């Protein structure tokens, strides 16, 4: 059975996989992306793999890759952690890693796709 993917007008979300590691590391180490994170140290493959292993695989965090519908190109990521289903709240982080996709308003519409 094919899993339904959350999608909006111009983007869809797919679960992050270990195959996204190089892409995420490259995106996170761009100055325009890194300066928006609390921890602005250079991001490593090891730290991302640790995040996938300890947070995503354990269910403590849910992370998606934001993809353009028209081209299937991955352009960013959104994650949720400290999810409180009864209070309908969570901490989230979102970024657009592809420079030519930044500023086009495609990040924020991804949030309602997982509500």
User: Total structural domains in the chain?
Assistant: 1
CB 18 within 8 Å of CB 45? no
What would the mean pLDDT of 68-85 be, rounded to a whole number? 91
Please say whether the dihedral angle defined by the alpha carbons of residues 82, 85, 87 and 93, taken in this order, is positive or negative. Answer: positive
Burial (0-12, 13-18, 19+ Cβ within 10 Å), 24: buried
Each residue of 20-67: pLDDT tens digit? Answer: 999 999 999 999 999 988 888 888 999 999 999 999 999 889 999 999
Q: Domain containing 44: what range?
A: 11-114
Q: What's the pTM?
A: 0.85
Which tokens in the block code for residue 66?
């934001």
**Is position 72 within any domain?**
yes
Distances in whole angstroms, Cα of residue 113 to Cα of each of 71, 85, 104: 19, 16, 17
pLDDT band at 107 (very low <50, low <70, confident <90, very high): confident
CB 71 within 8 Å of CB 101? no
**In this structure, how many other beta carbons lie within 10 angstroms of the beta carbon of residue 12?**
17
Q: What is the pLDDT at residue 23?
A: 97
* CATH number of the domain bearing residue 28: 3.40.630.30
**Is position 23 within any domain?**
yes
- Residue 76's DSSP bridge partners are 66, 96
- Residue 68's DSSP bridge partners are 11
What would the mean pLDDT of 84-89 be, rounded to a whole number? 85
CB 71 within 8 Å of CB 62? no
**Is position 3 within any domain?**
no
Q: What is the pLDDT at residue 97?
A: 94
């Amino acid at each position: 059975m094919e899993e339904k993917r959350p999608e909006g007008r111009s983007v869809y979300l797919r679960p992050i996989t270990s195959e996204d590691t190089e892409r995420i590391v490259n995106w996170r180490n761009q100055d325009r992306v890194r300066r928006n994170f609390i921890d602005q140290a250079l991001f490593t493959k090891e730290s991302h793999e640790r995040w996938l292993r300890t947070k995503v695989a354990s269910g403590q965090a849910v992370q998606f890759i934001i993809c353009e519908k028209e081209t299937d190109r991955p352009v960013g990521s959104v994650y949720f952690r400290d999810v409180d289903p009864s209070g309908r709240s969570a901490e989230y982080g979102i970024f657009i890693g592809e420079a030519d996709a930044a500023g086009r308003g495609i990040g924020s519409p991804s949030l309602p796709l997982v509500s």
